[in-house]
Amino acid sequence: MIQRLLYRCPLCGAEPWLERGRCRGCGASIKVGPDRYTATIGGETDTVAGWYAAVRRLDRLPEGGLASALVRVSRESREKPRSLAGGLTAVFYGRRPLGQAKLRLLVDRLEVDGLPGGPDAIGLADVRAVTIESNTVIVDSRSRGVLFFDFPRGSGKRWEDALDQALERFHAPRKILEFCPRLRFSAERSPAAPGRGGADHRPLKRAARRRERPGLGFDAVRALVGWLLRTAFPLRVEGRQHVPSAGPAVLAANHSSFLDAIFLAALAPRPVAFMTKNSQFAHPALFRILRWAGAFPVRRYTTDPVAVHNALRVLAQGRVLGLFPEGERCWDGRMQPFKRTALRLLLASGAPVVPVRIAGAYGLMPRWSARIRRVPVAIRFGAPLNLPAIAPEDQTEGDIAACGDLLRDAIRQSIDSLVR
55 vs 43: CA distance, rounded Å:
17
pTM above 0.95, yes or no: no
Per-residue pLDDT of the chain (420 residues; tens, 9 = 90+): 899 999 999 999 999 999 999 999 999 999 999 889 999 999 999 999 999 999 999 988 888 899 999 999 999 999 888 888 878 888 889 999 999 999 999 999 999 999 998 889 999 999 999 999 989 999 999 999 999 999 998 899 999 999 999 999 999 999 999 999 999 998 655 444 444 444 444 445 544 444 456 667 888 999 999 999 999 999 999 999 999 999 999 999 999 998 999 999 999 999 999 999 888 888 888 888 888 888 999 998 988 999 999 999 999 999 999 999 999 999 999 999 999 999 999 999 999 999 999 999 999 999 998 889 999 999 999 999 989 999 999 999 999 999 999 999 999 875 543 444
Q: How far is CA 254 from CA 188, 334, 335, in A?
A: 27, 10, 7
**Is the separation of the CB atoms in 131 and 124 below 8 Å?**
no
pLDDT at 284: 85
Burial 100-122 (b: 16+ CB within 10 A, else e): ebebbbeeebbbbebeeeeebeb
pLDDT at 117: 87
352 vs 356: CA distance, rounded Å:
13
Domain boundary assignment for the chain: 2-57, 66-188, 218-419
- Other Cβ atoms less than 10 A from the Cβ of 339: the count is 21
333 vs 38: CA distance, rounded Å:
10
CA 97 to chain CA centroid, nearest Å? 24
Class (C level, CATH) for 218-419:
alpha beta
291 phi and psi, to 5 degrees? Answer: -65, -40
Sign of CA dihedral 221, 227, 230, 231: negative
Torsion of CA 311, 312, 315, 319, to 10 degrees: -30
Four-way CATH pick for 66-188: 3.30.300.20, 2.60.200.20, 2.30.29.30, 3.60.40.10: 2.30.29.30
SS3 38: strand
